[in-house]
Amino acid sequence: MKPIPRRELIRRFQALGFEGPISGGRHAFMQKGSLKVHIPSEHRRDISVALQREILRSLRSFRMTKGKQG
């Protein structure tokens, strides 16, 4: 992994079937069905590897929670 621009993060989510970015509250988010993933606000810096991992971790925890319900 390496730092990526916000636009690239959005493109990757869209390639996975997410819609957005959708404005809401403090941060925009990407949405796919009932799943919402908050993405960083637009700044001039790339999205760090640490933040990318945090986003992936939140997706994993959602998937695990969703699997226990069904």
Output the six-digit token pair for 34: 């009932």
The domain total for the chain is 1
- The pTM (predicted TM-score) of the whole model is 0.78
Cβ atoms < 10 Å from Cβ of 4? 16
Quick check: 49 pLDDT over 90?
yes
For residue 53, being part of any structural domain is answered with yes
For residue 1, being part of any structural domain is answered with no
Domain containing 47: what range?
6-69
For residue 52, being part of any structural domain is answered with yes
Instruction: Work out the angle at residue 28's Cα, subtended by the Cα atoms of residues 22 and 31, and round it to the nearest 5 degrees.
Output: 50
Spatial CA neighbour of 19 closest among 5, 6, 36? 36
pLDDT digits (tens, 9 = 90+) for 3-48: 999 999 999 999 999 999 999 777 899 999 988 898 888 877 899 9
Q: How confident is the model at residue 69 (pLDDT cuts 50, 70, 90)?
A: low
